[in-house]
Chain A
Amino acid sequence: MAAKLILSMDGAVIKEYPLNKERMTIGRKEHNDIAIDNLAVSGEHAAIVTILHDSFLEDLDSTNGLEVNGTPTKKHFLQNNDVIGIGKYKLKYISDLVTQTSSADFEKTMVMRSPPKQATPGENKPAETPGFAKVPSGSKPANTEVVEKTGKFEALKPTGPAASGQAAAPVTPSVVAKPALQTAAPQAAAPQRVAVVQVLTGPNAGKELELVKNLTTLGKPGLQVAVLTKRPQGFFITHVEGESFPLVNGQALTNQAHQLNEHDVIELAGVKMEFYFKG
């Protein structure tokens, strides 16, 4: 099942378009795959290049530009539920792979190779995929690859020419863009409460160390190290190296990780620290 775009205006759905071609164009003129007859839309306004499961939107130097989720953009790597805005029109990108295959199947590693590579041992063909293994920037890779499944992957059955109309057929972009993509890295939901350790004794007394990273090091590598790790179930302290084991509430750690409770007092190399949540 292909990813699709749902065209709407003022909340009313006009049409659905499956992304079943390697490159689909959006524009006012009739020859576009997604033709929107409105003067705010340029003749050739934008294109969407799809490579297997990934789709990239790019502006074709349109007069009025593009928005994705309300932000003007020239180029964008589409994510499920993104809304592309062109004038008054909205195109919602739906790519819900979970409904297409079971996630376990989806994540199985598969091998891509070109169709004539059904090499029998006698044929002695080189295993490297010609024209694909080392594609220089700007060139167009050979368009003949099929995906050969080695796991169970229903959506990506080996495709012959007959299946080329399906979205599953791997496509390669004919337009190679500069990597000036806007990043849309997902931020993990910020935790409401920040865990900190506050130094209680010694010259650094009063200093706070926020445990924002997944792994925070206490001490010096090579000498005496303990780490504080952030896990889904909470924070843990683990002795890594050094002669003395850290104490938590006066008890020496073992080789096991020890889960910290709020207001636990850690003692490492004579320095006491308190663990608690802030905010």
Chain B
Amino acid sequence: MKITEALEIFSQTHPGMVRSHNEDSVACEPAYGLVVLADGMGGYNAGEVASGIAVSVVVTEVSHGLHDASPVDRDEASGVELGVQLLRDNIQKANASIFHAAESQPQYSGMGTTIVSGLFYDNRVATGHVGDSRMYRLRGEVLETITRDHSLLQEQIDGGIISIEDARLSKNKNLVTRAVGIDAEVVPEIHVHDVSVGDIYLLCSDGLNDMVEDDDIQSTLYAMQGNLPLAANQLIQMANDNGGRDNVSVILVKVKGKFSVPRGWLAKLLAWFEK
């Protein structure tokens, strides 16, 4: 199945109930199975600038890199798949762009952004993230986070300093330990997961998961899996009903079929004719 047929993608973003402007940015490139979400930070409109640069660099550059190459091609030197390599390189490229913009223009000084991105190919998804924007996966009835926040709170949870239940009461929710554009370099966290037909992937900014319990996210995705726009709308509405203290953005990706990369000369030839 072609990736555009195998995946249903829907994204939505909302400034929330408190903030006057939206510092989140979302972008999708269905032709390459690429979804990117960023939550910017910085004074005035610098947050929007940072998140905007991040998603546009990653979407443009990854798409460009896949224009006449396959994401399963391996780099000869490192043996890393092109899909993974492109995600990593271009999050770093976004980092450099934001860092330099912030250095050269005083009004953007100190701006930065989180990022979470997914590149779906060959029945897998490569995830690349920095900061506390998340990717969840609903498989069957089970909702799991498949990214781990780069935040003080997550480190405290990992270190056994605070329990997951208590973490919800923490006042230290807003501290990220890694961000795009703050330093000259950044290390994106990249993982590759197998994808099953029926999976739903949710990328979101912390405006969602700080305001809405995972249980409610799960029940929404499960009940509304047949209607992604409604599910996205419901998630945002729940965040806003609970106070909407931050911008809230979601990207939903539903896997409707297999999307193997054609291998072998015959499959490639057939794929070529399909274009």
Contact = CB atoms under 8 A, between A and B. Distances in A.
Contacts of A152: 43
Given A79-B169, A104-B18, A120-B184, A110 B175 contact: yes
A144 B50 CA distance: 27
A132 B165 contact: no
A112 to B, nearest CB: 5
Contact of B174 (A110, A126, A185): A110
Interface centre among A179, A184, A213 (most CB of B within 10 A): A179
Nearest to A181: B163
A274 to B, nearest CB: 21
Interface string B141-155: 000000000101001
> Which secondary structure dominates where chain B touches chain A?
loop
Contacts of B186: 127
Interface in A175-197: 176-179, 181, 183-186
B112 interface: yes
A111 B176 contact: yes
A17 interface: no
B47 to A, nearest CB: 8
B223 A107 contact: no
A119 B184 contact: yes
Contacts of B220: 215
B99 interface: yes
Interface size for chain B: under 10, 10 to 19, 20 to 34, or 35 or more residues? 35 or more
Interface size for chain A: under 10, 10 to 19, 20 to 34, or 35 or more residues? 35 or more
A240 B161 contact: no
Interface in A114-160: 117, 119-121, 123-129, 132-133, 135-139, 141, 147-152
8 contacts: A51-B152, A54-B171, A56-B161, A117-B183, A128-B187, A132-B177, A176-B159, A225-B224
Interface of A: 51-54, 56, 77, 79, 95, 97, 103-104, 106-113, 117, 119-121, 123-129, 132-133, 135-139, 141, 147-152, 173, 176-179, 181, 183-186, 213-215, 217, 221-222, 225, 227, 229, 231-232, 238, 240-242
